[in-house]
Structure 1
Protein backbone atom coordinates (compact mmCIF):
# COMPACT_ATOMS: atom_id res chain seq x y z
CA UNK A 1 0.00 0.00 0.00
CA UNK A 2 1.15 3.51 -0.90
CA UNK A 3 -0.26 6.62 0.80
CA UNK A 4 -0.60 10.01 -0.92
CA UNK A 5 -1.23 12.75 1.65
CA UNK A 6 -3.70 15.53 0.96
CA UNK A 7 -3.91 18.82 2.85
CA UNK A 8 -6.03 21.83 1.94
CA UNK A 9 -4.15 23.73 -0.75
CA UNK A 10 -2.47 20.67 -2.33
CA UNK A 11 -1.49 20.86 -6.01
CA UNK A 12 -4.11 18.84 -7.85
CA UNK A 13 -1.94 17.84 -10.82
CA UNK A 14 0.79 16.46 -8.58
CA UNK A 15 -1.50 14.44 -6.33
CA UNK A 16 -4.01 13.10 -8.83
CA UNK A 17 -1.56 12.36 -11.64
CA UNK A 18 0.49 10.21 -9.28
CA UNK A 19 -2.59 8.40 -7.92
CA UNK A 20 -3.81 7.75 -11.48
CA UNK A 21 -0.45 6.43 -12.67
CA UNK A 22 0.02 4.15 -9.68
CA UNK A 23 -3.45 2.66 -10.09
CA UNK A 24 -2.76 2.06 -13.80
CA UNK A 25 0.32 0.11 -12.67
CA UNK A 26 -1.80 -1.98 -10.26
CA UNK A 27 -0.13 -0.46 -7.23
CA UNK A 28 -2.47 -0.19 -4.26
CA UNK A 29 -2.70 3.49 -3.34
CA UNK A 30 -4.87 5.45 -0.95
CA UNK A 31 -5.28 9.17 -0.58
CA UNK A 32 -4.97 10.25 3.05
CA UNK A 33 -6.44 13.46 4.43
CA UNK A 34 -4.39 15.21 7.09
CA UNK A 35 -7.34 17.53 7.67
CA UNK A 36 -10.26 16.83 10.03
CA UNK A 37 -12.49 15.82 7.11
CA UNK A 38 -12.01 13.47 4.15
CA UNK A 39 -13.04 16.27 1.75
CA UNK A 40 -9.88 18.20 0.92
CA UNK A 41 -9.64 21.19 -1.43
CA UNK A 42 -6.70 21.69 -3.76
CA UNK A 43 -4.99 24.98 -4.51
CA UNK A 44 -7.26 25.46 -7.54
CA UNK A 45 -10.41 24.80 -5.52
CA UNK A 46 -11.01 21.23 -6.68
CA UNK A 47 -12.52 19.16 -3.90
CA UNK A 48 -11.26 15.60 -3.52
CA UNK A 49 -12.65 13.07 -1.08
CA UNK A 50 -9.69 11.25 0.41
CA UNK A 51 -9.93 7.50 0.89
CA UNK A 52 -9.09 7.72 4.59
CA UNK A 53 -8.24 10.14 7.38
CA UNK A 54 -4.66 10.20 8.67
CA UNK A 55 -5.52 8.45 11.94
CA UNK A 56 -7.03 5.49 10.00
CA UNK A 57 -3.76 4.72 8.19
CA UNK A 58 -1.86 1.48 8.78
CA UNK A 59 1.67 2.79 8.52
CA UNK A 60 3.34 -0.50 9.46
CA UNK A 61 1.94 -2.12 6.29
CA UNK A 62 2.54 0.89 4.04
CA UNK A 63 5.42 0.65 1.56
CA UNK A 64 5.80 4.31 0.50
CA UNK A 65 4.65 7.78 1.59
CA UNK A 66 4.07 10.46 -1.06
CA UNK A 67 3.72 14.21 -0.48
CA UNK A 68 2.27 16.42 -3.23
CA UNK A 69 3.19 20.08 -3.12
CA UNK A 70 1.14 23.20 -3.63
CA UNK A 71 0.48 26.09 -1.32
CA UNK A 72 -0.75 26.28 1.32
CA UNK A 73 -0.92 22.47 1.13
CA UNK A 74 2.79 22.07 1.81
CA UNK A 75 2.57 24.38 4.82
CA UNK A 76 -0.34 22.31 6.12
CA UNK A 77 1.75 19.14 5.72
CA UNK A 78 4.67 20.80 7.55
CA UNK A 79 2.35 21.71 10.42
CA UNK A 80 0.91 18.20 10.86
CA UNK A 81 2.95 16.83 13.77
CA UNK A 82 1.76 13.21 13.45
CA UNK A 83 2.64 13.12 9.74
CA UNK A 84 6.11 14.49 10.48
CA UNK A 85 6.64 11.86 13.16
CA UNK A 86 5.51 9.12 10.78
CA UNK A 87 7.88 10.41 8.09
CA UNK A 88 10.77 10.15 10.56
CA UNK A 89 9.81 6.60 11.56
CA UNK A 90 9.45 5.60 7.91
CA UNK A 91 12.81 7.13 7.02
CA UNK A 92 14.45 5.44 10.00
CA UNK A 93 13.27 2.07 8.67
CA UNK A 94 14.77 2.84 5.24
CA UNK A 95 11.34 2.90 3.58
CA UNK A 96 10.86 5.16 0.55
CA UNK A 97 9.41 8.66 0.78
CA UNK A 98 8.57 10.81 -2.25
CA UNK A 99 7.83 14.54 -2.42
CA UNK A 100 7.15 16.91 -5.31
CA UNK A 101 7.14 20.68 -5.89
CA UNK A 102 7.30 22.53 -2.54
CA UNK A 103 6.80 19.33 -0.50
CA UNK A 104 10.51 18.40 -0.29
CA UNK A 105 10.51 21.33 2.16
CA UNK A 106 8.61 19.07 4.59
CA UNK A 107 11.44 16.54 4.39
CA UNK A 108 14.07 19.24 4.83
CA UNK A 109 12.38 20.70 7.91
CA UNK A 110 12.03 17.17 9.36
CA UNK A 111 15.80 16.65 8.97
CA UNK A 112 15.43 13.83 6.44
CA UNK A 113 17.45 15.30 3.57
CA UNK A 114 20.88 15.48 5.22
CA UNK A 115 23.43 13.92 2.89
CA UNK A 116 20.92 13.42 0.07
CA UNK A 117 20.67 14.95 -3.38
CA UNK A 118 17.24 16.50 -3.95
CA UNK A 119 15.21 18.84 -6.12
CA UNK A 120 12.37 21.23 -5.34
CA UNK A 121 10.26 23.92 -7.02
CA UNK A 122 12.63 26.44 -8.61
CA UNK A 123 13.56 29.23 -6.21
CA UNK A 124 12.92 27.17 -3.06
CA UNK A 125 16.31 25.43 -2.93
CA UNK A 126 17.09 26.88 0.53
CA UNK A 127 14.25 24.71 1.88
CA UNK A 128 16.23 21.55 1.04
CA UNK A 129 17.87 21.73 4.45
CA UNK A 130 20.94 19.49 4.52
CA UNK A 131 20.60 18.33 0.91
CA UNK A 132 22.65 18.97 -2.17
CA UNK A 133 20.21 20.73 -4.57
CA UNK A 134 20.02 19.23 -8.06
CA UNK A 135 18.40 20.82 -11.12
CA UNK A 136 16.51 17.81 -12.52
CA UNK A 137 12.87 16.83 -13.00
CA UNK A 138 13.18 13.91 -10.58
CA UNK A 139 16.01 12.95 -8.22
CA UNK A 140 16.42 9.57 -6.53
CA UNK A 141 18.75 9.53 -3.54
CA UNK A 142 18.63 6.19 -1.73
CA UNK A 143 15.07 6.00 -0.31
CA UNK A 144 14.14 9.63 -1.08
CA UNK A 145 12.51 10.65 -4.39
CA UNK A 146 11.98 14.35 -5.10
CA UNK A 147 10.56 16.21 -8.07
CA UNK A 148 10.23 19.85 -9.20
CA UNK A 149 6.56 20.66 -9.77
CA UNK A 150 3.31 20.25 -11.68
CA UNK A 151 5.05 19.92 -15.04
CA UNK A 152 7.12 17.00 -13.75
CA UNK A 153 4.22 15.04 -12.22
CA UNK A 154 4.28 12.41 -14.99
CA UNK A 155 8.03 11.88 -14.58
CA UNK A 156 7.56 11.69 -10.81
CA UNK A 157 4.75 9.14 -11.00
CA UNK A 158 6.58 6.99 -13.53
CA UNK A 159 9.72 7.07 -11.39
CA UNK A 160 7.69 5.87 -8.40
CA UNK A 161 6.30 3.04 -10.54
CA UNK A 162 9.84 2.14 -11.60
CA UNK A 163 10.99 2.20 -7.97
CA UNK A 164 8.19 -0.14 -6.87
CA UNK A 165 7.62 -2.38 -9.92
CA UNK A 166 10.66 -1.94 -12.13
CA UNK A 167 11.63 -0.25 -15.37
CA UNK A 168 9.55 -2.51 -17.61
CA UNK A 169 6.29 -1.61 -15.83
CA UNK A 170 7.09 2.12 -15.89
CA UNK A 171 7.88 1.94 -19.62
CA UNK A 172 4.67 -0.02 -20.24
CA UNK A 173 2.55 2.64 -18.52
CA UNK A 174 4.39 5.48 -20.30
CA UNK A 175 3.81 3.76 -23.66
CA UNK A 176 0.10 3.30 -22.94
CA UNK A 177 -0.11 7.04 -22.27
CA UNK A 178 2.05 7.97 -25.30
CA UNK A 179 4.52 9.61 -22.92
CA UNK A 180 8.27 9.69 -23.56
CA UNK A 181 9.91 12.60 -21.69
CA UNK A 182 10.97 10.88 -18.47
CA UNK A 183 14.16 12.45 -17.07
CA UNK A 184 15.42 11.19 -13.73
CA UNK A 185 18.74 11.91 -12.00
CA UNK A 186 20.12 9.19 -9.76
CA UNK A 187 19.96 5.43 -9.73
CA UNK A 188 17.48 2.98 -8.32
Structure 2
Protein backbone atom coordinates (compact mmCIF):
# COMPACT_ATOMS: atom_id res chain seq x y z
CA UNK A 1 0.00 0.00 0.00
CA UNK A 2 1.15 3.59 -0.58
CA UNK A 3 3.06 5.50 2.07
CA UNK A 4 2.01 9.12 2.66
CA UNK A 5 3.81 11.90 4.53
CA UNK A 6 1.71 14.88 5.66
CA UNK A 7 3.29 18.06 6.96
CA UNK A 8 1.72 20.34 9.56
CA UNK A 9 2.71 23.69 11.06
CA UNK A 10 1.24 26.14 13.52
CA UNK A 11 -1.50 27.87 11.54
CA UNK A 12 -2.26 24.91 9.27
CA UNK A 13 -5.93 24.36 8.39
CA UNK A 14 -7.26 21.45 10.48
CA UNK A 15 -9.75 20.14 7.93
CA UNK A 16 -7.13 20.01 5.20
CA UNK A 17 -4.84 17.93 7.41
CA UNK A 18 -7.33 15.64 9.16
CA UNK A 19 -9.51 14.67 6.20
CA UNK A 20 -6.61 13.43 4.04
CA UNK A 21 -5.05 11.64 7.02
CA UNK A 22 -8.39 9.95 7.78
CA UNK A 23 -9.21 9.06 4.17
CA UNK A 24 -5.75 7.68 3.47
CA UNK A 25 -5.92 5.53 6.60
CA UNK A 26 -9.30 4.16 5.50
CA UNK A 27 -7.73 3.33 2.12
CA UNK A 28 -4.99 1.33 3.82
CA UNK A 29 -2.15 3.79 3.28
CA UNK A 30 0.72 3.88 5.74
CA UNK A 31 0.34 7.47 6.92
CA UNK A 32 2.83 9.57 8.88
CA UNK A 33 2.83 13.24 9.77
CA UNK A 34 5.63 15.62 10.66
CA UNK A 35 5.60 19.03 12.29
CA UNK A 36 7.41 22.00 10.79
CA UNK A 37 8.83 24.69 13.10
CA UNK A 38 6.29 24.02 15.86
CA UNK A 39 6.42 26.40 18.83
CA UNK A 40 5.34 23.58 21.12
CA UNK A 41 7.15 20.44 20.05
CA UNK A 42 4.24 18.26 21.16
CA UNK A 43 1.51 19.72 18.97
CA UNK A 44 0.55 22.08 16.16
CA UNK A 45 -1.78 24.95 17.02
CA UNK A 46 -4.05 25.11 13.97
CA UNK A 47 -6.12 27.94 12.50
CA UNK A 48 -9.33 27.19 14.41
CA UNK A 49 -7.62 26.61 17.77
CA UNK A 50 -7.52 22.84 17.45
CA UNK A 51 -4.26 21.27 18.55
CA UNK A 52 -2.99 18.31 16.55
CA UNK A 53 -0.21 15.98 17.68
CA UNK A 54 1.86 14.93 14.65
CA UNK A 55 3.51 11.52 14.51
CA UNK A 56 6.90 13.26 14.42
CA UNK A 57 7.47 16.67 16.00
CA UNK A 58 9.84 17.72 13.21
CA UNK A 59 11.04 16.64 9.78
CA UNK A 60 14.40 15.77 11.29
CA UNK A 61 12.71 13.18 13.52
CA UNK A 62 11.11 11.31 10.61
CA UNK A 63 13.04 8.03 10.77
CA UNK A 64 13.96 8.06 7.09
CA UNK A 65 16.78 10.27 5.91
CA UNK A 66 15.62 10.21 2.31
CA UNK A 67 11.86 10.63 2.70
CA UNK A 68 11.36 10.86 -1.07
CA UNK A 69 12.67 7.30 -1.35
CA UNK A 70 10.45 5.95 1.45
CA UNK A 71 7.14 7.74 0.85
CA UNK A 72 5.02 7.72 -2.30
CA UNK A 73 3.37 11.10 -1.74
CA UNK A 74 4.01 14.32 0.18
CA UNK A 75 0.95 16.35 1.24
CA UNK A 76 0.85 19.97 2.41
CA UNK A 77 -2.33 21.40 3.96
CA UNK A 78 -3.20 25.06 3.64
CA UNK A 79 -4.00 27.66 6.23
CA UNK A 80 -2.30 31.00 5.58
CA UNK A 81 0.14 31.05 8.52
CA UNK A 82 1.05 27.38 8.10
CA UNK A 83 1.66 27.84 4.38
CA UNK A 84 3.93 30.80 5.11
CA UNK A 85 5.94 28.57 7.44
CA UNK A 86 6.30 25.95 4.70
CA UNK A 87 7.40 28.64 2.23
CA UNK A 88 10.06 29.96 4.62
CA UNK A 89 11.43 26.50 5.47
CA UNK A 90 14.30 25.48 3.23
CA UNK A 91 14.04 21.83 4.39
CA UNK A 92 10.37 21.77 3.32
CA UNK A 93 11.10 23.39 -0.04
CA UNK A 94 14.00 20.98 -0.59
CA UNK A 95 11.76 18.04 0.30
CA UNK A 96 9.15 19.14 -2.24
CA UNK A 97 11.89 19.41 -4.86
CA UNK A 98 13.26 15.96 -4.00
CA UNK A 99 9.80 14.37 -4.33
CA UNK A 100 9.17 16.07 -7.66
CA UNK A 101 12.63 15.25 -9.01
CA UNK A 102 12.16 11.60 -8.01
CA UNK A 103 8.85 11.43 -9.89
CA UNK A 104 6.85 11.00 -6.69
CA UNK A 105 3.46 12.59 -6.03
CA UNK A 106 3.29 15.97 -4.33
CA UNK A 107 -0.08 17.37 -3.23
CA UNK A 108 -1.08 20.70 -1.73
CA UNK A 109 -4.40 22.27 -0.86
CA UNK A 110 -5.49 25.87 -0.34
CA UNK A 111 -2.56 28.18 0.45
CA UNK A 112 -0.30 25.12 0.61
CA UNK A 113 0.13 25.47 -3.16
CA UNK A 114 2.35 28.50 -2.54
CA UNK A 115 4.99 26.15 -1.11
CA UNK A 116 5.11 24.25 -4.41
CA UNK A 117 5.65 27.56 -6.17
CA UNK A 118 8.32 28.63 -3.67
CA UNK A 119 10.13 25.30 -4.03
CA UNK A 120 10.23 25.58 -7.81
CA UNK A 121 11.46 29.17 -7.55
CA UNK A 122 14.29 28.18 -5.16
CA UNK A 123 15.39 24.85 -6.68
CA UNK A 124 14.17 24.98 -10.27
CA UNK A 125 12.29 22.27 -12.10
CA UNK A 126 9.10 22.52 -14.08
CA UNK A 127 6.28 24.89 -13.33
CA UNK A 128 2.86 23.37 -13.74
CA UNK A 129 -0.90 23.75 -13.75
CA UNK A 130 -2.23 24.25 -10.25
CA UNK A 131 -5.09 25.59 -8.22
CA UNK A 132 -5.26 27.11 -4.74
CA UNK A 133 -7.42 29.18 -2.46
CA UNK A 134 -8.45 32.31 -4.39
CA UNK A 135 -6.64 34.49 -1.82
CA UNK A 136 -3.24 33.29 -3.09
CA UNK A 137 -4.09 33.04 -6.79
CA UNK A 138 -1.87 36.04 -7.52
CA UNK A 139 1.14 34.40 -5.88
CA UNK A 140 0.72 31.33 -8.07
CA UNK A 141 0.01 33.13 -11.35
CA UNK A 142 2.62 35.78 -10.60
CA UNK A 143 5.38 33.17 -10.79
CA UNK A 144 4.24 32.01 -14.21
CA UNK A 145 2.26 28.93 -13.23
CA UNK A 146 -0.86 28.01 -15.20
CA UNK A 147 -3.81 28.66 -12.88
CA UNK A 148 -6.82 26.36 -12.77
CA UNK A 149 -10.19 26.95 -11.09
CA UNK A 150 -10.94 23.22 -10.85
CA UNK A 151 -11.80 21.99 -7.36
CA UNK A 152 -8.92 19.55 -7.71
CA UNK A 153 -6.27 20.00 -10.40
CA UNK A 154 -4.07 17.07 -11.40
CA UNK A 155 -0.98 17.84 -13.47
CA UNK A 156 1.14 14.74 -13.85
CA UNK A 157 2.23 13.80 -10.33
CA UNK A 158 1.19 17.11 -8.81
CA UNK A 159 -2.25 17.41 -7.17
CA UNK A 160 -3.63 20.71 -5.91
CA UNK A 161 -6.98 21.77 -4.49
CA UNK A 162 -8.82 24.91 -3.40
CA UNK A 163 -9.76 24.89 0.28
CA UNK A 164 -11.46 23.23 3.26
CA UNK A 165 -14.61 22.48 1.27
CA UNK A 166 -12.63 20.51 -1.31
CA UNK A 167 -10.58 18.47 1.18
CA UNK A 168 -12.67 15.29 0.78
CA UNK A 169 -12.50 15.42 -3.02
CA UNK A 170 -8.76 16.15 -2.78
CA UNK A 171 -8.17 13.10 -0.57
CA UNK A 172 -10.35 10.76 -2.64
CA UNK A 173 -8.68 11.91 -5.86
CA UNK A 174 -5.31 10.99 -4.36
CA UNK A 175 -6.64 7.57 -3.34
CA UNK A 176 -7.82 7.00 -6.91
CA UNK A 177 -4.50 8.12 -8.40
CA UNK A 178 -2.47 5.82 -6.17
CA UNK A 179 -4.85 2.85 -5.80
CA UNK A 180 -7.50 3.06 -8.54
CA UNK A 181 -11.18 3.93 -8.76
CA UNK A 182 -12.33 0.72 -7.11
CA UNK A 183 -10.44 1.61 -3.93
CA UNK A 184 -11.76 5.17 -4.06
CA UNK A 185 -15.34 3.89 -4.29
CA UNK A 186 -14.70 1.37 -1.50
CA UNK A 187 -13.56 4.21 0.79
CA UNK A 188 -16.20 6.76 -0.25
CA UNK A 189 -19.23 4.46 -0.01
CA UNK A 190 -19.33 3.79 3.75
CA UNK A 191 -18.64 7.49 4.44
CA UNK A 192 -21.81 8.43 2.48
CA UNK A 193 -19.81 10.91 0.43
CA UNK A 194 -22.04 13.35 -1.47
CA UNK A 195 -21.93 13.02 -5.24
CA UNK A 196 -21.79 16.81 -5.49
CA UNK A 197 -18.26 17.10 -4.11
TM-score above 0.5, yes or no:
yes
- Listed as ranges, the gaps of 5+ residues in structure 2 are none
* Cα distance change on mapping 1:21 and 1:182 into 2, 3 Å: farther
* Cα distance change on mapping 1:31 and 1:98 into 2, 3 Å: same
Query: Where do residues 138-149 of structure 1 align in structure 2 (5 Å cutoff)?
Result: 138-149=152-163
CA distance, structure 2, for counterparts of residue 144 and residue 71 of structure 1: 20
- Listed as ranges, the gaps of 5+ residues in structure 1 are 184-188
CA distance, structure 2, for counterparts of residue 50 and residue 19 of structure 1: 11
Matched, 1:48 2:48: no
CA distance, structure 2, for counterparts of residue 170 and residue 130 of structure 1: 33
Matched, 1:162 2:176: yes
**Cα displacement string for residues 15-56 of structure 1 (whole angstroms, at most 9, x for unaligned residues):** 001100000111011111112514111111111111012112
Question: 1:169: Cα distance to partner?
Answer: 0.6
RMSD over aligned Cα atoms: 1.6
Matched, 1:101 2:115: no
Matched, 1:118 2:135: no
Question: 1:164: Cα distance to partner?
Answer: 1.3
- Secondary structure of 1:26's match? coil
- Secondary structure of 2:21's match? helix
Query: Where do residues 1-188 of structure 1 align in structure 2 (5 Å cutoff)?
Result: 1-36=3-38, 37-52=41-56, 53-57=58-62, 58=64, 59=67, 60-111=69-120, 114-128=126-140, 129-181=143-195
* Cα distance change on mapping 1:14 and 1:178 into 2, 3 Å: same
CA distance, structure 1, for counterparts of residue 196 and residue 157 of structure 2: 19
* Cα distance change on mapping 1:181 and 1:114 into 2, 3 Å: farther
* Ranges of 4+ aligned residues in structure 1 off by more than 3 Å: 112-115, 180-183
Alignment TM-score, normalising by the size of structure 1 = 0.92
Question: 1:80: Cα distance to partner?
Answer: 1.2
Match of 1:186 in 2: none
Q: Which has the higher helix share?
A: 2
CA distance, structure 2, for counterparts of residue 148 and residue 20 of structure 1: 19
Alignment TM-score, normalising by the size of structure 2 = 0.88
CA distance, structure 2, for counterparts of residue 141 and residue 40 of structure 1: 30
